[in-house]
Chains A and B, each alone.
Chain A
Amino acid sequence: MMTGKEYRESIRRLKPEIYYLGEKIDNVADHPAFLPHVNAAALTYDMAQAPEFEELLTAKSHLTGQKINRFTHIHHSHDDLVKKVKMLRALGQQTGSCFQRCVGFDGLNSVYSITYDIDQKMGTDYHKRLVNVLKEIQSKDLMVSGAMTDVKGNRRLSPSQQKDPDLFVHVAEKKKDGIVVRGAKAHITGGVNSHGHLVMPTSAMKAEDADYAVAFYVPIDAPGVVHIFGRQTNDTRKCNCFMDQGNVDYGIVGGEALIIFDNVFIPWEHVFMCGEYEFAYELVERFATAHRQNYGGCKTGLADVLVGATYALSQVQGTDRASHIRDKLVEMAHLTETLYCCSIACSCQGYALPAGSYMADPLLANVTKLNVTRHVYEIARLAQDIAGGILATAPSELDWKDPKVGKYVEKYLKGVEGVPTETRLRLLRLIEGMTCGTALVESMHGAGSPQAQRIMIERQANLERKKRLAEKLAKIGEQPLLVC
């Protein structure tokens, strides 16, 4: 397993093509715009080495028997599924932000099981290829981004109906030794500071979309892979401020990028699906389930930090003894633990797939994520309520440090006696970063938008059986007397 330091050195050696604010970026590992994301990812390596966390952050490879970072592991039990959630909460508590490695983790688990199923039906050898790549990922402890969401163009049209064929990633050419792919994937978390990308189809496909049913692994610096890093709320604070960043070390989100595949060659040994359109939906559902399972883990870790920051701020501002403040803090904790309950439940109700790997219960995983789209907003709303309007109006760190007006900021923004104004400002900035802007949108659309969860919940809800239960008790029609 790598240490955080070794991870940083490993990405310094890579030469990916990355653009941000109109400039080409040559060194992601040390650039202030990317450093918080690199720091958060590095912690997934360092915590695996720490005795306090190794039980959660490490696992035994079912392929080699070696001790590996859990982010490269394939779940083989309920215990693995539960430990995943607990690991994410522990990491969220330490970073207060996204640590990025779960997407590739979920992608590997999904592709692992689906390649097995494809091979069983089609006689292909995708699973063997995936296992070979997985062994390398495990032994080198690589960070892999999961790239699923296509840019999609006109949402009314399927991939093959789009006027521009490149609006979904597709096979542009088949060669003897591999394929050439073209298209783009959006919102890719950890997209600029991973070692490689695991690319998967974005939705169900029909026969006419077969060229779009493609899954593959590609190193981040393969020729033709272009990354455009996304803007974040207050992102220039990373370059000219310290305290005003709030979460100084780890930032506010995972660091998302638009990844363009401009005629990228993928050797066959890195291709895991190529035209098997009938498996695209199942792959998407397994990935979505795995990823939605996470959100009551990582987001509860973040919420723990936010609850703590809000409580601390109420003490600094002298509102902590007011009954309505205590009640709101309790509500924040209640919502946090509700999300955690969901993630633990869907893990405990998970099951084995034909490949021998385990996945969480799809219905409960989707309920988890749908709750996140609401509860995280409510937790943030309560934090903002308790913090007060100063959350949006506090002077900058530069004015607080200014020789002329700094004394006014110090004097007039002070809270209770004995606590420096700086403490109040730091807490406000942390809460601002966690509740205002980009961070919240991640809870809405990360792992799929709310409607995507509703669709899956409807499919899994078994409304007909529920109707029969009601009809039996209401004596509607001929119903058996005994429970069955």
Chain B
Amino acid sequence: MAKKHRPYKVALKYCGSCNPRVDLSRIARHLKSVAAESGHFQLVPLSEDNINVVVILCGCPRACGNKEEVKARARLCLVTAGESLNGHPIPENELPSVVERELIKVLGSLD
């Protein structure tokens, strides 16, 4: 049975994109389409209250977006940093789908 608090709130936060080594907007577009199709979660601004997960999209390993004040906006967070997710290497072309899978997994932990 569906939980009352669905759809979950997911916020995206970009590092700033000074010289990204991967196409961050591709990940964002993928999550947007998954959100629209599944209805499992919705993308909301970082300024919104009660965010469940914040996905921090960083273009390189420096991960400028990975800051405490950003992470503090949600109970859980995922961090991409160039070709990696939460520190694990992921090829660029797999990043959108891997981020999606990981996001669904952490949202599942909230159920």
Contact = CB atoms under 8 A, between A and B. Distances in A.
A292 interface: no
Contacts of B17: 52-53, 55-56, 90
B92 to A, nearest CB: 16
B64 interface: yes
Contacts of A90: 16-19
B82 interface: no
B65 interface: yes
B64 A55 contact: yes
B77 to A, nearest CB: 16
A86 B65 contact: no
Nearest to A56: B16
Instruction: State which size class the interface on B falls in.
Output: 10 to 19
B19 A52 contact: no
B16 A51 contact: no
Instruction: State which size class the interface on A falls in.
Output: 10 to 19
Contacts of A83: 16
A89 interface: yes
Interface in A261-300: 300
Contacts of B16: 52-56, 83, 86-87, 90
A86 B19 contact: yes
Interface string B36-77: 000000000000000000000000000011000000000000
A105 to B, nearest CB: 17
Contact of B14 (A55, A93, A301, A304): A55
- Majority DSSP secondary structure for residues of A touching B: helix
Contacts of A56: 16-18
Given A90-B18, A93-B19, A52 B24 contact: yes
B15 interface: yes
A55 B12 contact: no
B12 A51 contact: yes
A119 to B, nearest CB: 35
Nearest to A87: B18
Contacts of B86: none
Interface string B10-44: 00111111110000110010000000000000000
Contacts of A55: 13-17, 64-65
Q: Which of A54, A55, A304 has the most CB of B within 10 A?
A: A55
Nearest to A94: B17
Contacts of B15: 55
Nearest to A55: B16
Interface in A41-88: 51-56, 83, 86-87
A89 B18 contact: yes
A313 to B, nearest CB: 22
Contact of A304 (B19, B25, B64, B65): B19
A66 to B, nearest CB: 14
B73 to A, nearest CB: 14
Contacts of A51: 12, 14, 28
B18 A52 contact: no
Contacts of A301: 19
B19 A53 contact: no
A52 B25 contact: yes
A53 B16 CA distance: 4
Contacts of B19: 86, 89-90, 93, 300-301, 304, 340
B14 A54 contact: yes
A87 B18 CA distance: 6
Contact of A86 (B14, B18, B24, B25): B18
B34 to A, nearest CB: 17
B72 to A, nearest CB: 16
Contacts of A300: 19
Nearest to A337: B19
A86 B14 CA distance: 14
Contacts of A304: 19
Contacts of B28: 51
A87 B12 CA distance: 20
B74 to A, nearest CB: 16
A237 to B, nearest CB: 30
Q: Which of B17, B19, B65 has the most CB of A within 10 A?
A: B17
B66 to A, nearest CB: 12
Contacts of A87: 16, 18
Contacts of A89: 18-19
Nearest to B24: A52
Given A51-B28, A90-B16, A93-B19, 14 more contacts: A51-B12, A52-B14, A52-B17, A53-B17, A55-B13, A55-B15, A56-B17, A83-B16, A86-B18, A87-B18, A89-B18, A300-B19, A304-B19, A340-B19
30 contacts: A51-B12, A52-B14, A52-B16, A52-B17, A52-B24, A52-B25, A53-B17, A54-B14, A54-B16, A55-B13, A55-B14, A55-B15, A55-B16, A55-B17, A55-B64, A56-B16, A56-B17, A56-B18, A83-B16, A86-B16, A86-B18, A86-B64, A87-B16, A89-B18, A90-B16, A90-B17, A300-B19, A301-B19, A304-B19, A340-B19
The 4 closest A-B pairs by CB, nearest first: A86-B18, A55-B16, A56-B16, A52-B17
